[in-house]
Each structure stands twice: as C-alpha cells, then as structure tokens.
Amino acid sequence: MDFKQAAKLGSYMSKDYAEELFRLLVTYQDISASEAASRLNLHIKTVQDFLEGMASLDILSRKEVSEKKRPYYRYALKTRYIDMRVDLNPLYNVQQAGEKQTKMIREKSNAGIRFSTSRDGQYISHVAMWIGKGRDRKERKINLSISQGKFLFHLPFPSAKFMSVDEIMDKAGVDSMHRSEVLDIVKELIEYNVIESE
C-alpha cells in the first residue's frame, strides 16, 4: 500500500460510523448503500462514498444488479483483515540525494536570513526568514536537528569559496548517517534562496 492509499484508508477508518458499517459488512453476505444507510440512519451519499472508497482500495467487491428498476451496486467484503503496511522508502529519492552531494554550495549574499546559535554556540539551533512582500510578509522559522545545525554552522559565507556537501559535513564533524537530513535542509534553503549552488 502506498502513502496515498494509506492516507485514504486512514481517513475512512477514522469516520465515527466506520465501525458500524464494517459490522454490517461482516454480518451481511452483501449490502447496498441504501440498505446500509437506512439501517444506520445515515445519508445515502455518506454511505455510498464510504463503500466506493473501500472498493477502490480493494477491501470490498461490488456487483451491479437490477431488480425491475435502475441498476445499483451491492457490496461485499473481500477480506476480514485489513493490514496497513506502508513502504516509506519511496519518500526519499536516493538518486536526487546523490546529485546534491556533488553540488558546490555556500550562503547566498543578502538572503535576509537569521541564524540563531545554540546556547553553547556550537551549532545553529534554528533559522528564520521573511516570506512574501509588504503586509503579506510572514516569518518562516525552521527548527533544526543538531546535525543540520552543525552543518549550517560551517556553511561557507557568501564571500567564501563554494564547498561540497560532503566537505562541509566533514568539517562540521557530521556523520554520514545524517546525510539525508542535511540534504533535506539544503534543498529547503536553496528553494528559499538562502543557499546558492555553483
């Protein structure tokens, strides 16, 4: 199950009527939206959306029937066990991360960012910048992990030479196991025009 499917399932499962609808689905061989709606005193559209959602996730089967009137669907459980297993690996693009390691970067001149150091002065605890223009300007504050903070503490100044992500990580003493979170903040700050790349 991918993340979008899991989110959809979670959204349906969190409805206050979900348990009662599933109880009907377990009890009945099959059921129509109108039957379930009348049984639980719910609006038919609410039940229809739920049943269609479950069918799209392959939890229910649906069969079109017609009994001397226009066709409608009857729904039946395909399984009595719902197992939500979500693979989070696709959320991190390894290839893209590899490209960013070779980028030469430094702080951008006049970026309008405020770096706040930790109490011991050994790393950056958070960064703050202004987003938007005029009265619509809002402060955007990002709290950093210690690895990100150490990395940004050693980010070359705008007048200094560009350095690679790996070189800055080595200089900052940041372990390679934290590379993904470092690359995440680099990507974010490039988008905010705080970091420039060569």
The residue-averaged pLDDT of 139-143 equals: 91
* 171 found inside a domain: yes
pLDDT for res 91: 75
Same-domain pairing of 189 and 136: yes
Share of the chain above pLDDT 90, in %: 62
Same-domain pairing of 124 and 192: yes
* 72 found inside a domain: yes
Per-residue pLDDT band for 14 (boundaries 50, 70, 90) equals very high
Residue with tokens 């089967």: 61
For residue range 88-126, list pLDDT tens digits in order.
877 776 555 555 456 799 999 988 889 999 989 899 999
Same-domain pairing of 191 and 101: yes
The residue-averaged pLDDT of 154-168 equals: 93
Lowest mean pLDDT among 19-33, 108-122, 143-157: 108-122
Structure-block tokens of residue 109:
């001149």
Residue with tokens 């025009």: 193
Residue with tokens 């309008």: 112
Q: Which comes out higher in pLDDT, residue 93 or 43?
A: 43
Percentages (nearest 5) of helix, strand, coil residues in the chain: 45, 20, 35
Per-residue pLDDT band for 160 (boundaries 50, 70, 90) equals very high
Same-domain pairing of 63 and 104: no
Domain containing 117: what range? 92-197
The CA distance from 160 to 151, in Å, is 16
**CATH of residue 182:** 3.90.930
HSE of 180, CA atoms in CB hemisphere, 13 A = 7
* 123 found inside a domain: yes
Structure-block tokens of residue 169:
């990580």
CA Rg value for the chain = 27
pLDDT for res 97: 53
Please name which of 131, 132, 134, 133 lies closest in space to residue 142, comparing C-alpha atoms. 131
User: In what order do the strands lie in the sheet containing 124-131?
Assistant: 113-117, 124-131, 138-143
Same-domain pairing of 37 and 119: no
Number of domains, the chain: 2
Answer with the one of 22, 51, 77 that is the final residue of a domain: 77
Please name which of 154, 157, 197 lies closest in space to residue 173, comparing C-alpha atoms. 154
Per-residue pLDDT band for 158 (boundaries 50, 70, 90) equals very high
Same-domain pairing of 97 and 190: yes
Per-residue pLDDT band for 86 (boundaries 50, 70, 90) equals confident
pLDDT for res 180: 87
**CATH of residue 62:** 1.10.10.10
Per-residue pLDDT band for 19 (boundaries 50, 70, 90) equals very high
Average of per-residue pLDDT values in the chain = 89
